[in-house]
Amino acid sequence: MNAGQVKMESAEPQTALKGWDAVLAIDAANLNELLFHQYLEKGPDSADIHFSLAAQDDQDIWLVNVVLGPPQISFSAGNTDNQQCTVSMEMIRGVVVKMDPNSSVVKAVLHVTRNQAEVTGEINLRKIRGTVTNPNSQLGSVVIDLAGGAFTPRIAGIDPKSELAMELGKAFGFYFAANDTTYALGGLTESNVPDCLQPTDFVFYCQKAGENDGCVVLLIRTNGSTGDLGDLKPYPIEEGYTTGLYVSSEVLFGKLFPPFLSKNNNSGISFSGKQISAGNWVTVAHSGTLSVMVKDEDTDSWSSDSNGYEMPVNMNLSGLTVRADGTNLSVYWEYKWKQYWTRPYPGHIGVDNTQSNEGTASYSLTATPSVDTVTDIITFSGKGAASYKPYKADFWEKFFGKMNVSDILKNTVENSLQNALEDIQLPSVNVFALENLLFPASHTLHVEKAALPGHLYAAGRTKRPVAVEPAVTPSIMPGTSVQLGATGHSAGDFLWSVVAGGVGTISDAGLYTAPAVTGAAAQPVVISAVLRSDTKQEGRALIVVTSPAAASGLQVEPESLMVTPGQTFMLRVADAAGNPVKADCTLSSPVGTLRPALQQGEWIYTAPALLEDGAAERVIFKAVSCADKTITGQSSITVVPTTAVSVTSSSATISKGGQVSVTADANAGTDPLWFVLPTGRGTITANPEDRTKAVYTAPVSITPADNQVIIGVYAGGMNFSNSGFTAVSIEG
């Protein structure tokens, strides 16, 4: 091979990057971890997690007061929108209240229990300006925008196909829109990296994988051209990892390596990038010389020019090529030239004998990648080998005697190229991964594996500086304990605490103990662990304290129900898969009546018209499978009295953006829930000193057709359930 010629064989890129300079793919599991830790940072009392909303069904108003669990992302194969995902949030605890606004009578209260309620929606992903750590970043972040979602609630006791379920789904959307509820997935910012790695713009794309799996792909432009949208093939995340980071062949070999290698060698080699096929580049030397003076004192022979004058052997390094080779970095150089050699002519004093001999010098190196687990620096290491082959193999012995000129030239090549090429630390890519790619909840991208399938591929995952284990504890029973710790630390390294709004206690050693009694509803508890040696470093974990449901083979929905005298409610009996089951159903005592409905598995309960002494009464709904008498299920029904709450407002009319004060009478108790119907049409805030009083704030913009608002209040406990309403008109 002559100087300047590039060896053309090269592995094609494993995953086509569609013309983008860099690509970051994050799978659903990693995204859900990011969402989970944002959820923990918000805390269970956040307005994004614990809130009330209302919807109307015929003449009844339904209030939902709920504590949501962490958002969970999935990617539906049937959704063709490449900027949407499916988000599900479990309802950990709460109540669903059915009320008659005309009589201010509560008809029924469903208690939300674990695994029996969730809200799911097809959610738009959106690009916004700024990032979690750099609000002024011009590049921005990708967020899931719950405000734009179309939601479907699943609540035990409510037909998911009913008009009520549809109206409640709209109410969830209105609430998230009014509160601008978003969760960040990741973003980009500027840092001190070369221009070829400095992000200037990006777009995002949702790529599906299988039934519900997939990833969000950030397609990044640095100083190159904008690429195309579409699925990356093959799938961009390797099994066993949750992120895939790619730097294009053009950026790596065409822009990043040339100045780096030109600067970091002692042989005067200058490099440049060269495209050898579509999307495939190599780094090629276009100058540089290796020189060595060869002289044999025994035979008085030397390297020379054609006239016999002493001259070093000069080997032109042009054409030395650095390229990708499967997973490794490959270096190859070959130089063929005619070299003159001179020695005294035997028997002729002062007469020299100059002869030439063609030869070929070569160098090859295969460097395998490794990743420093602390710095994330990617290094390609290997031992290069050089050779020199003369055209006439016996020339040396005749001309130089015992001196091995081939070894001299071989060693010169190896020694000169070793320092520059045998341990290449990939420049700036670790800085790009750690500083340009930003993630919420203190996560950073960590590279665990690197390869060169044409472009640079780095597999890894995002991690937090403090990872509390277990991050999610399965439900524990009241009065029990669970030990928490943190990866790489002892429990005593942390200041442990229960975040405000939680229940139970935690010791200095990280032992959490749930309270002995919590009531029927599940209690989400967020635990904080602050590193004593650096209080800026914090980890969090979630524990749910709940009394387990009685073991059974049948599901009865709802599992816990309150009704008021004379009201009816439909219960549903199903198997573990949710299929309606034919069952014999009875009441544990004659508190109300029970009759089968038209559909299999549906039963209608009617509460007694009057309560003895006006006190609440409890009855157990029991279901026994007709096919197998050992398979049973049950629901707890409590009949409670209801009393209308009188609600007064300081004005029946209000201007856009204005406020009105509302007050509930003593029937509201001391801790009522205030709400607005329709959800999102203004806000209502209870007085923290006296929650029977609240202030309603109207929206600043509204259409004439949407100027009516109902303000409601609900007060309930285990033994009573009251409600009241007032109407307000918005003018202007």
3-state secondary structure of 178: helix
Q: How far apart are CA 633 and CA 476, in angstroms?
A: 22
**Predicted local confidence at residue 10, as pLDDT:** 38
Give 469-489 as a DSSP string.
Answer: ESSEEEEE-TT-EEE-EETTB
Beta partners for residue 127, in sequence order:
142
Mean pLDDT value of segment 415-430: 83
The backbone torsions φ and ψ at residue 57, rounded to the nearest 5 degrees and listed phi first, read -130, 110
* Spatial separation of the C-alpha atoms in residues 622 and 468, rounded to whole Å: 42
| pLDDT classification of 422: cutoffs 50, 70, 90 | confident
Q: Token pair of 237, please?
A: 């995340």
Helix or strand (DSSP H, E) at 512: strand 511-513
pLDDT range class, residue 297, cuts 50, 70, 90: confident
Q: Which comes out higher in pLDDT, residue 4 or 106?
A: 106
pLDDT at 576: 84
The whole-chain average pLDDT of the chain stands at 90
Cβ count near 112 (within 10 Å): 26
AA letter at 695: V
Q: Model confidence over 485-503: pLDDT tens digits?
A: 998 899 999 999 999 888 9
**533 pLDDT more than 70:** yes
pLDDT at residue 622, rounded to an integer? 96
Which residues of 408-490 form beta strands (DSSP E)?
423-425, 437-438, 444-451, 456-463, 468-469, 472-476, 481-483, 485-486
Q: What is the model's pLDDT at position 399?
A: 74
- Categorize the per-residue pLDDT at 6 as very low, low, confident or very high, splitting at 50, 70 and 90: very low
CATH, domain 468-545, list 2.60.40.1080, 3.30.930.10, 3.20.20.450, 1.10.730.10? 2.60.40.1080
Per-residue pLDDT reduced to its tens digit, 543-566: 999 876 655 689 999 989 999 999
Higher pLDDT, 51 or 6: 51
Residue 591 has pLDDT above 60, yes or no: yes
Residue 246 CB-density burial (10 A; 0-12 exposed, 13-18 middle, 19+ buried): buried
Identify the sign of the CA torsion 167, 168, 173, 175. Answer: positive
Full-model pTM: 0.87
**What's the pLDDT band for 133 if we cut at 50, 70, 90?**
low
Residue type, 335: Y
* Residue 8 confidence (pLDDT) above 60: no
Instruction: Give the span between the Cα atoms of 475 and 547, in whole angstroms.
Output: 8
**Cα separation, 197 vs 192, whole angstroms:** 9
The three-class DSSP label of residue 272 is strand
Please determine, for residue 462, whether its predicted confidence score (pLDDT) is greater than 60.
Answer: yes
- Residue whose tokens read 């509160």: 179
- Give residue-wise pLDDT tens across range 683-732: 999 999 999 999 999 999 988 888 999 999 999 888 889 999 999 999 97
Average pLDDT over residues 672-682: 95
State how far the Cα of 725 lies from the Cα of 648, in Å rounded to an integer.
8
Contact (Cβ atoms closer than 8 angstroms) between residue 571 and residue 599: no
Cα pseudo-dihedral 593, 596, 602, 603, rounded to 10: 0
> Averaging pLDDT over each range in 147-156, 338-347, 387-396, 657-666, which range is the top one?
657-666
Place of tokens 């599991």: 29
In this structure, the chain runs to a length of: 732
Q: Which fold has domain 555-639?
A: Immunoglobulin-like (2.60.40)
Which CATH number applies to 647-731?
A: 2.60.40.10
Highest mean pLDDT among 266-270, 356-360, 685-689: 685-689
Average pLDDT over residues 500-525: 87
Contact (CB, 8 A) for 352 and 342: yes
Mean pLDDT of 342-371: 88
394: its two tokens: 């016996």
pLDDT at residue 611 in the model: 93
Tokens standing for residue 285 = 């030397």
Both tokens of residue 50?
């614990």
Distances, alpha carbon 720 to alpha carbons 103, 105, 580, 609, 717, in Å:
16, 11, 32, 15, 5
The CA-based angle 119-687-175, given to 5 degrees, is 20
Nearest CA-CA partner of 97 in 701, 691, 677, 652: 677
Q: How confident is the model at residue 519 (pLDDT cuts 50, 70, 90)?
A: low
Helix H or strand E encompassing 407: helix 405-421
- pLDDT of 535 over the 60 cut: yes
Report the pLDDT value the prediction gives residue 12, as an integer from 0 to 100: 41
Spell out the domain ranges in the chain. Answer: 30-126+150-184, 251-419, 468-545, 555-639, 647-731
**Rg for the chain, CA atoms, rounded:** 37
Chain center to CA of 300: 72
Q: Give the bridge partners for 68, in sequence order.
A: 91
Token representation of residue 476: 């524990």
DSSP string, 13-78: PSS--TT-SEEEEEEHHHHHHHHHHHHHHH-TTSTTTEEEEEEEETTEEEEEEEEE---EEE--TT
Cα 388 off chain centre by: 54
| Owner of token pair 């206690």 | 505
Q: What is the pLDDT of residues 301-319, one digit of tens each?
A: 899 999 999 999 999 999 9
Mean pLDDT of 444-450: 93
CA 455 to chain centre: 24
Identify the DSSP state of 252.
Answer: I
Residue 329, judged by CB atoms within 10 A of its CB (0-12, 13-18, 19+), counts as: buried
What pLDDT, on the 0 to 100 scale, is given for residue 677?
Answer: 95
Closest to 639 in 3D by CA, of 594, 608, 667, 669: 608
Distance CA 343, CA 358 (A): 17
pLDDT tens sequence across 160-210: 889 999 999 999 999 999 998 999 999 898 888 999 999 999 999 999 987
